[in-house]
Amino acid sequence: METITAIKSRRSHRKFSNQKIETGVIEKIVEAARFAPSWKNTQTVRYTVIENRALLDEISEHCVMGFAFNAKTISRCASLVVISSVGKISGYEKNGEFSTNLGLHWQSFDAGIAAQTFCLAAHSLGVASVILGIFDESRIKSVCKLPENQDVMALIAIGYPIEAEKEAPKRLEVNEILHMID
């Protein structure tokens, strides 16, 4: 799929078909997502994919801070991807101090780029996705048994779409967001 077309036609999907996503397809998506840029190429982002229905139900019921919208999305998805990041690397100097006065910002920045790269790669392979930001970080970390040095940055629900094409929610116009300085 052509890049601009992929960027513009990707949508957040919250309903999915019952079809499981083949492991090979998930591997292809991560194979592409690993080319996302990162702070000094530190590549701190990790992808944990949950397919187990009992675990998905547990996350849906207990790990989304009671946000029913996300609970429903997780109960419908084929797999849930936990985007985590090895902490204290991105945005840090070797001596353990922050490199800039933006502190922890760069760890999230890397994870955001990785998440969008993942979603675009998924989209180009026919897999629908939605990034979920409302979740209980410590509970997700605990139920997924993530290593102590990783922070949960986002969840991505994925599955095969049941809506062929979705209209984009309204976007601001270019002249509202572009500021040129001569």
Ligand X SMILES: Cc1cc2nc3c(=O)[nH]c(=O)nc-3n(C[C@H](O)[C@H](O)[C@H](O)COP(=O)(O)O)c2cc1C
Q: Which residues of the shown chain bind ligand X in the complex (CB under 6 A)?
A: 11-12, 14, 69-70, 73, 130-134, 168-169
Pick the closer one to ligand X by CB: 89 or 130: 130
Residue nearest to ligand X (CB): 133
**Cβ closest to ligand X, residue 134 vs residue 162:** 134
CB of 23 to ligand X, least distance (A): 26
Task: Name the residue nearer to ligand X (CB basis): 99 or 160.
Answer: 160
Residue 135: CB minimum distance to ligand X, A: 7
Q: Supply 104's token pair.
A: 């922890």
C-alpha distances in Å from residue 123, one per residue of 6, 92, 105, 159: 7, 33, 27, 10
| 87 contacts 107 by C-beta, under 8 angstroms | yes
The residues, ordered by sequence, that sit 6+ positions from 137 with a Cβ below 8 Å of its Cβ are 151, 152
Find all residues with CB under 8 Å of 108, minimum gap 6, and list them. 153
Annotate 110-123 with DSSP letters as a single string: HHHHHHHHHHHHHH
Minimal distance, residue 36 CB to ligand X, in Å: 15
Residue with smaller CB distance to ligand X, 28 or 72: 72
Nearest approach in angstroms of CB 148 to ligand X is: 24
